[in-house]
Amino acid sequence: MPSSSVRLRLGTRASPLARWQADWVAAQLRRQGSEIELVHVTTSGDRGPLPIGRGADRGLFTKEIQAELLAGHIDLAVHSLKDLPTDAVRGVCLAAVPERAPVNDVLVSDCAGSLSELRGGARVGTGSLRRRAQLLNARCDLLMRDLRGNVETRLRKLHEGQYDAIVLAEAGLRRLGLAREITQVLPLELALPAVGQGALALEVRTDDATARQAVLPLEHAATRAAVTAERAMLAALQGGCLAPIAAWGRREQDTLVLTGRVLSADGARKIEATLAAAAAEAAVLGRRVADALLAQGAAALIEAARAG
């Protein structure tokens, strides 16, 4: 049954993928009876390329939108959850986490059918330290090259021959109707996702009960538990995006399972831990996995990545 009409100003970045996410959320809320106005916000991350691994954990894609929310210029913010820092922002709450899209990374290539088919010395583009380290762990003979820009820009650079292959998120390509570009869905054993990859974050002001109630139908309990565990692990490791950290939370039968992974920047070292708990203990599970990784030497890998 649709709720009584509520008017919400929805803030989002203006990139094609961000617009898709905002349009999807707006469509779900309109079905619930809400009136939605989209408001595009330019963030620091939209203003220019950054060196690989620098600044992404400082809210470059989220802080301006949160500022608009706190100022009362918008009522609802939509983010890619992987872009949302784990540090809480006073006055803002994560009101809903919709059902997650596929979490995998994918290989896109015009010259090979899979990662194993890439020639030695192939140029592989990525803007992620996590992806870079995991691919080097599997194929130390690859030449990893920095890659920036939105999804369409990255694909154009590949097809122009600047790279032999690039690595992107499966969720983003599918959301943009570009699944035909996927050469190989990388197995999770090889490439675990970023914390929150494939999930959306819907933020409202903590004191805005009307907006919180309006977005509640979009909440997906299993996704919330999985990303809560992943984000608790990342917070406990204090790694942000300055170290190759990956995590995969998922429901297996009635249990929440979390796998965490930390690598050296060159992929030569990889440590991993998998633990399980009840969904209600998601945050505790995340901290336990972080403790298991720290016991294997994760702190030294993270510190080395920061220093590098």
pLDDT at residue 2, rounded to an integer: 45
Q: The whole model's pTM is what? A: 0.92
Query: What number does CATH give the domain 7-99+199-219?
Result: 3.40.190.10
d(CA 116, CA 126): 17
User: Per-residue pLDDT tens for 258-301?
Assistant: 999 999 999 999 999 999 999 999 999 999 999 999 999 999 99
Residue 3: pLDDT band (50, 70, 90) is: very low
Could you say which of 46, 57, 83, 208 is catalytic? 83
Q: Give the pair of three-digit tokens for residue 163.
A: 């790279």
DSSP letter, residue 274: E
Q: Where are the domains of the chain?
A: 7-99+199-219, 105-185, 228-307
pLDDT at residue 280, rounded to an integer: 97
Indicate if 105-185 has the same CATH topology as 7-99+199-219: yes
Residue 89 Cα distances to 63, 86, 203, 228, angstroms: 9, 9, 10, 16
Known catalytic residue: 83? Answer: yes
More confident residue, 271 or 63: 271
User: Per-residue pLDDT tens for 93-146?
Assistant: 999 999 999 999 999 999 999 999 999 999 999 999 999 999 999 999 999 999
CATH 3.40.190.10 is held by the domain 228-307: no
Share of the chain above pLDDT 90, in %: 84
pLDDT at residue 62, rounded to an integer: 84
The CATH fold assigned to 105-185 is D-Maltodextrin-Binding Protein; domain 2 (3.40.190)
